[in-house]
Amino acid sequence: MLRTVARRMPVEVEVLMSVDLIVVLVLLAVTIALFAIGRPRMDAVALLVIVALPLISVLTVPETLAGFADPNVVLIAALFVIGEGLSRTGVTFRLGDWLSASCCASSSGSCSPPSPSCT
């Protein structure tokens, strides 16, 4: 035998943001803005956020450091290191020059819009 239980729906729903939520949202907005500007460097901004969260008592230190156990965090950190290494050795510039030259030399028209250096 099936029984249905009537659920009471609240007549008035209030949405209140806690102080912690507001602080985290402001910190997130500042972080995104600093990432977009590019000054200071992204790794410095990320470290500042990691330090700021326990200092403002949003997270505890063990909760903050527990994020480093996630393989995705390690992957992103490794991508930063590899990208910086490739940039400092000039590999990215050479690859960009090669892609630009091969795109301009192709007759298939896959390079759109054509760059001014191809004309």
Dihedral sign for Cα atoms in the order 85, 86, 87, 89:
positive
User: How many helices (DSSP H) and strands (DSSP E) are in the chain?
Assistant: 5, 0
Q: What is the pLDDT of residues 51-78, one digit of tens each?
A: 999 999 888 999 988 888 889 988 988 9
pLDDT tens-digit profile of 5-44? 555 555 554 556 788 889 999 999 999 999 999 889 888 9
C-alpha span between 2 and 11 (Å, rounded): 28
Q: 67-106 pLDDT, tens per residue?
A: 888 899 889 889 989 999 999 999 999 998 898 888 877 6
Q: Which tokens sit at 98?
A: 């090669």
Which ranges in the chain belong to alpha helices (H)? 19-37, 42-55, 61-66, 71-89, 91-105
Residue extents of the structural domains in the chain: 18-59, 68-95
